Structure 1
């Protein structure tokens, strides 16, 4: 089964999602695995035909070389930071993993569940902001939703 694993990491470039990414690289990834970054952007109005097509299904899988190119990522309205790119490039070299990104638009809870089933992912690692019980009720917790509804194993990395 080596090389067939698709390890998903939900990433929004926040400190807690970067911590989840580092944890996944250090504790889950093995040589030959596929590291699939799931990024969900808020819904918006898009004039371009590609964006209208991708809004329902998500973007095509974006290789790390394109993910590192600001001009290409501008088309997806994603701005990866230098620290995240450094972590990914290092992991790709040292662990010999294939790194790709898939961008979705809409509600993170719904789109991450779709990604788990459609890619399909072997497991998902997601960060937690550490919301209290009352905050989770009003703001909603994506990590709690994933633990309760995902069809693959989910690991929550606390901030």
Structure 2
């Protein structure tokens, strides 16, 4: 009989999408254990700054866009912290900058995690090939099992 670890460390990749929330909800409703330690990982991507038109690329406008993105990130981290408190669960929020897939795998290694749960946006083959997929990266580079919740 396999030796089951008393306390699992579970990393859940969280962005502001409905897919991440559904992945969290799936974890909570299906495989959660009372003794689990949750680590909600958020990797801000600063879409507004990167996707802003070149004509507004002056320093002041970019600084303002960056400040807005930073505030949205702080608000989202606060929301995740509240989620953990409301669920009365052992865990923490980890917000780090970088490429999402790489950061999530690094958190798993740093925290000696046992499992990753992530959502999937369901991109088509061409879009996934061009843009890359965070869940594909995690699946191929994770040292632990990965559950990809597809909705």
Q: With the length of structure 2 as denominator, give the TM-score of the two structures.
A: 0.72
Instruction: Mark the structure with the bigger radius of gyration.
Output: 2
Q: How does 1:38-117 map to 2 (within 5 A)?
A: 38-42=41-45, 77-80=73-76, 87-92=83-88, 97-117=89-109
Segments of 4+ moved more than 4 angstroms: 81-87
8 Å contact from structure 1 (residues 122, 152) kept in 2: yes
Does 7-16 or 81-90 show the bigger shift? 81-90
Structure 1, unpaired ranges of 5+: 44-73
Instruction: Kindly provide the CA deviation profile for residues 90-138 of structure 1, in whole angstroms up to 9, marking residues without a partner as x.
Output: 432xxxx302111110110111111111112110000000001001011
SS at match of 2:126: helix
Aligned residues: 124
**Stretches of structure 2 lacking an aligned partner (at least 5 in a row):** 47-69
SS at match of 1:121: coil
Q: Is the 8 A contact 1:6 1:123 kept in 2?
A: yes
1:117 to 1:39, Cα distance in 2 relative to 1, 3 A: same
Taking the aligned partners of 2:11 and 2:33, their CA distance within structure 1 comes to 13
Question: Equivalent of 1:6, from 3, 9, 23?
Answer: 9
Question: What's the counterpart of residue 112 of structure 2?
Answer: 120
> Which residue pairs with 1:47 in the alignment?
none
For 2:127, the equivalent position in structure 1 comes to: 135
Q: Distance between the aligned counterparts of 1:118 and 1:81, measured in 2? A: 20
Cα distance, 1:76 vs structure 2: 9.6
Which residue does 1:156 correspond to in 2? Answer: 148
- Distance in 2, Cα, partners of 1:121 & 1:109: 15
Distance 1:30 1:122 in 2: 13
Structure with greater helix share of residues:
2
